[in-house]
């Protein structure tokens, strides 16, 4: 599982002119799921996301987590995070999990993050053509991959 965390002051997702999710201060999380991912990976990644200390404290240092700043999460499924670009100029996506594998993991991630955060996690729509708007704060962008736990 791979996540791109973008610290934002605002982010939203629109599908067919309808806003499906939006947050102010917090993380826009782009989530890629591959066939090899497990619910243990999900638990580890959810904890990382919730506890990542990249929000500014009173001295301007990145010492605060989402909980410390009462931040939100906009979670977007993004299979292209597992694009293979080794050959040619057209990426391959064979590592990305098929919907029958990815959707249950994505839905469980929404549930887990909501539980840990103590509030609703905003989302896009799995597999839809989504228009994402964000105002990256910093910019701060962190990539977390469950294959690099140790």
What is the DSSP code (8-state) at residue 60?
Answer: S
What is the DSSP code (8-state) at residue 90?
Answer: S
66, 78, 123, 127, 132 from 15: Cα distances, Å: 26, 14, 11, 11, 9
Q: What is the CATH number of domain 2-138?
A: 3.50.80.10
Residues with a catalytic annotation lie at: 80
pLDDT grade, residue 28 (50/70/90)?
A: very high
Share of the chain above pLDDT 90, in %: 83
Predicted TM-score of the model (pTM): 0.94
Per residue in 49-107, pLDDT tens? Answer: 999 999 999 999 999 999 999 999 999 999 989 888 888 888 888 888 999 999 999 99
- What ranges make up the beta strands (E) of 38-116? 55-56, 62-64, 72-77
Provide the token pair at 12: 């939203």
Provide the token pair at 6: 């973008």
Share of the chain above pLDDT 70, in %: 100
């Amino acid at each position: 599982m791979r996540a791109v965390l973008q610290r934002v002051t605002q982010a939203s997702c629109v599908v067919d002119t309808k806003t499906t999710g939006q947050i102010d201060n917090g993380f826009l999380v782009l989530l890629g799921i591959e066939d090899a991912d497990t619910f243990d990976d999900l638990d580890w990644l959810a904890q990382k996301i919730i506890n990542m200390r990249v929000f500014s404290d009173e001295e301007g240092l990145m010492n605060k987590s989402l909980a410390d700043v009462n931040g939100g999460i906009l979670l977007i499924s993004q299979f292209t995070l597992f694009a293979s670009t080794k050959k040619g100029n057209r990426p391959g996506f064979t590592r990305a999990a098929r919907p029958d594998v990815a959707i249950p993991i994505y839905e469980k991630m929404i549930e887990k993050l909501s539980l840990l955060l103590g509030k609703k996690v905003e989302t896009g729509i799995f597999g839809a053509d989504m228009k994402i708007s964000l105002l990256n704060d910093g910019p701060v962008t962190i990539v977390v991959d469950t294959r690099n736990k140790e």
